[in-house]
């Protein structure tokens, strides 16, 4: 945990953004895997972590806006808990660690909230994403489960987003720690990517690195010779020389700050010319995007600029044709990159996606596109100093998508389908860095950038 003042300050800042009422911040509970006592690794809710910092199940925090008081409702460990899980500080002691003086048993929250409802106080809560918390909110507030999302507080969502979008220095340090763990995960994978190894052997090894320096990875590892499937979690293929191996993996520190990096490498340690050509285009797109980042630029313009670099490169190889600016504006390049350039990152790998991407990544000035590809851009808004985001252009050859577009004669004036079909078994390449927006630009987080130039990657693989 950070020091108690950090949490007191954050709650006070949030209070100032909300006109009146009480704010409920539900913590997470244990989540059973295959029977109640065999749970998934516990993951605290990120809003609870941000405002209260306590990494334990079964808690609810309340921020009373009108009376300037905060509460934690949770049960002390009883002797059964202690026998099986060991002693814990009391809830009072834990709460004092985040500057909260008022605590009570969990069941007391029902009376507390009922009183607030009976006195017509506004109850603010965020859209729940776990079913047990949906049931809890339904019982506390008497709102049907299917209406909870629409009845959640936009005022609270926007208040939280405005705080969490700007990373504090102590948060940046944690994210850098996560990036350094990510560096070790990716460079280890590069050294392991040899013919005969099964994907899961590398996935297991790098998951172990995340666990040994922090906790479980920030999302299920994507590690595949079929990188054309964007979120491929199948790890059963045996690597063969000539394959491209795409690894999208990030760590979490023990305080749950995330990293998220993607590298793509040639099994056996040497890119073919065909692979190198596409790789370099994706790398140019990545480098161009990061060179444009600074406060005041919208990420939507940077996404489009990075897409133009990609499409221009593909034109040079004969895969695209025509006016590239126009092709990108109309979305023709999305055959090769059907996703956005990046997203916010922090306590969540897709930061605050539970609150709604539209509030995190967009604002009144920048609205999402409805064009296939660009519509999947999670972050479009004007950049501000203190944003932490990912830069992850890619180029994929998805046979099923190629066939559909080809049959529809889609964008025939921009896409050379005969040439594209020569790449049907190419796979996919994505190159992803994590960056902090600074006063005048942006910098890649972590002590060292994970090897990314062709020669650097080959060198690391052959160490």
* Binding residue (CB under 6 A) for ligand GLY from 260, 308, 351, 354: 260
Instruction: Name which of Mn ion, ligand GLY, none residue 11 binds, using a CB cut-off of 5 to 8 Å depending on partner kind.
Output: none
* Binding residue (CB under 6 A) for ligand GLY from 219, 359, 372, 417: 219
Count of residues in contact with Mn ion, rule CB under 5 A: 2
Instruction: Name which of ligand GLY, Mn ion, none residue 70 binds, using a CB cut-off of 5 to 8 Å depending on partner kind.
Output: none
Instruction: Name which of Mn ion, ligand GLY, none residue 219 binds, using a CB cut-off of 5 to 8 Å depending on partner kind.
Output: ligand GLY
Closest by alpha carbon to 46, among 70, 73, 28, 66? 28
CB of 411 to Mn ion, least distance (A): 26
d(CA 170, CA 380): 26
Instruction: Name which of ligand GLY, Mn ion, none residue 369 binds, using a CB cut-off of 5 to 8 Å depending on partner kind.
Output: none
**Site for ligand GLY contains 248 (CB under 6 A):** yes
440 DSSP assignment? S
**Site for ligand GLY contains 2 (CB under 6 A):** no
Q: Which is nearer to ligand GLY, 77 or 219 (CB)?
A: 219
Instruction: Name which of Mn ion, ligand GLY, none residue 357 binds, using a CB cut-off of 5 to 8 Å depending on partner kind.
Output: none
Displacement of CA 58 from its chain's centroid (Å):
25
d(CA 88, CA 196): 47
Residues 316-345 that bind ligand GLY (CB under 6 A): 343
Q: Which is nearer to ligand GLY, 152 or 215 (CB)?
A: 215
Q: Tell me the H-state helices in 62-130.
A: 79-85, 91-96, 108-118
Instruction: Name which of Mn ion, ligand GLY, none residue 2 binds, using a CB cut-off of 5 to 8 Å depending on partner kind.
Output: none
d(CA 212, CA 236): 24
Count of residues in contact with ligand GLY, rule CB under 6 A: 4
CB of 176 to Mn ion, least distance (A): 17
**Site for ligand GLY contains 174 (CB under 6 A):** no
Please give the full DSSP string across 139-163, using - where no structure is assigned: HHH---GGGHHHHS-HHHHHHHHHH
Q: Which is nearer to ligand GLY, 176 or 348 (CB)?
A: 348
Q: Which is nearer to ligand GLY, 299 or 423 (CB)?
A: 299
Q: Are 230 and 339 in contact (CB under 8 A)?
A: yes
CB of 343 to Mn ion, least distance (A): 6
d(CA 273, CA 279): 10
Q: Which is nearer to ligand GLY, 232 or 460 (CB)?
A: 232
d(CA 419, CA 278): 14
d(CA 89, CA 93): 6
Q: Which is nearer to Mn ion, 333 or 343 (CB)?
A: 343
Closest by alpha carbon to 344, among 72, 77, 162, 73? 162
Q: Please give the radius of gyration of the chain, using alpha carbons only, rounded to the nearest integer.
A: 24
Token pair recorded at residue 444? 């890649």
Q: Which is nearer to ligand GLY, 133 or 228 (CB)?
A: 228
Under DSSP, is residue 390 helix (H, G, I), strand (E, B) or coil?
strand
Q: Which is nearer to Mn ion, 124 or 300 (CB)?
A: 300
H or E segment and range at residue 396: strand 394-396
Residues 231-260 that bind Mn ion (CB under 5 A): 260
d(CA 377, CA 335): 15
CB of 33 to ligand GLY, least distance (A): 23
CB of 85 to ligand GLY, least distance (A): 32
d(CA 45, CA 27): 5
Tally of CB atoms within 10 A around 392:
25
Q: Which is nearer to ligand GLY, 199 or 248 (CB)?
A: 248
d(CA 280, CA 208): 31
Measured CA to CA in angstroms, residue 85 lies from 4, 72, 91, 232, 337 at distances of 25, 21, 16, 36, 47
**Site for Mn ion contains 390 (CB under 5 A):** yes
Region from 81-89, 115-123, 382-390, 404-412 binding Mn ion, contact rule CB under 5 A:
382-390
**Site for ligand GLY contains 372 (CB under 6 A):** no
Q: Which is nearer to ligand GLY, 21 or 361 (CB)?
A: 361
Q: Which residues bind ligand GLY (CB under 6 A)?
A: 219, 248, 260, 343
Q: Which residues bind Mn ion (CB under 5 A)?
A: 260, 390
């Amino acid at each position: 945990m950070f020091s108690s003042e950090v949490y007191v300050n954050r709650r006070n800042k949030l209070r100032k953004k909300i006109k009146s009422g009480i704010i409920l911040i539900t913590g997470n509970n244990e989540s059973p895997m295959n029977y109640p006592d065999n749970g998934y690794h516990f993951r605290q809710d990120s809003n609870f972590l941000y405002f209260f910092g306590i990494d334990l199940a079964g808690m609810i925090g309340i921020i009373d806006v009108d009376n300037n008081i905060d509460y934690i409702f949770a049960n002390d460990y009883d002797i059964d808990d202690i026998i099986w899980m060991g002693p814990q500080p009391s809830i009072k002691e834990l709460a004092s660690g985040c500057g909260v003086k008022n605590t009570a048993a969990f069941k007391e929250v029902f009376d507390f909230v009922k009183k607030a409802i009976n006195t017509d106080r506004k109850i603010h809560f965020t859209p729940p994403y776990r079913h047990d918390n949906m049931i809890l909110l339904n019982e506390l507030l008497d709102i049907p489960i299917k209406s909870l999302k629409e009845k959640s507080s936009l005022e609270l969502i926007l208040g939280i987003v405005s705080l969490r979008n700007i990373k504090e220095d102590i948060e940046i340090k944690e994210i850098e720690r996560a990036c350094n763990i990510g560096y070790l995960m990716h460079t280890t994978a590069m050294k392991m990517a040899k013919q005969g190894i099964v994907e899961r052997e590398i996935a297991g090894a790098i998951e172990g690195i995340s666990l040994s320096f922090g906790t479980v990875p920030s999302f299920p590892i994507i590690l595949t010779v079929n990188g054309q499937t964007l979120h491929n979690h199948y790890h059963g293929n045996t690597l063969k020389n000539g394959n491209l191996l795409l690894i999208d993996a990030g760590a979490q520190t023990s305080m749950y700050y995330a990293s998220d990096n993607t590298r793509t490498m040639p099994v056996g340690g040497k890119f073919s010319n065909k692979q190198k050509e596409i790789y370099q285009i994706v790398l140019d797109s990545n480098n161009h995007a990061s060179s444009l980042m600074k406060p005041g630029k919208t990420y939507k313009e940077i996404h489009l600029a990075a897409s133009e670099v990609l499409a221009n490169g593909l034109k040079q190889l004969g895969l695209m044709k025509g006016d590239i600016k126009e092709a990108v504006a109309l979305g023709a390049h999305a055959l090769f990159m059907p996703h956005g350039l990046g997203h916010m990152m922090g306590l969540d790998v897709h930061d605050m996606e539970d609150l709604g991407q539209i509030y995190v990544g967009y604002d009144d000035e920048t609205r999402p596109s409805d064009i296939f590809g660009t519509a999947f851009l999670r972050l479009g808004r004007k950049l501000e100093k203190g944003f932490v985001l990912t830069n992850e252009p890619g180029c994929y050859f998805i046979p099923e998508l190629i066939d559909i577009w080809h049959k529809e004669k889609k964008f025939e004036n921009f896409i050379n389908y005969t040439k594209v079909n020569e790449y049907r078994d190419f796979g996919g390449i994505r190159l992803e860095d994590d960056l902090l927006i600074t006063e005048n630009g942006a910098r890649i987080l972590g002590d060292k950038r994970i090897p990314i130039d062709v020669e650097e990657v080959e060198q690391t693989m052959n160490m």
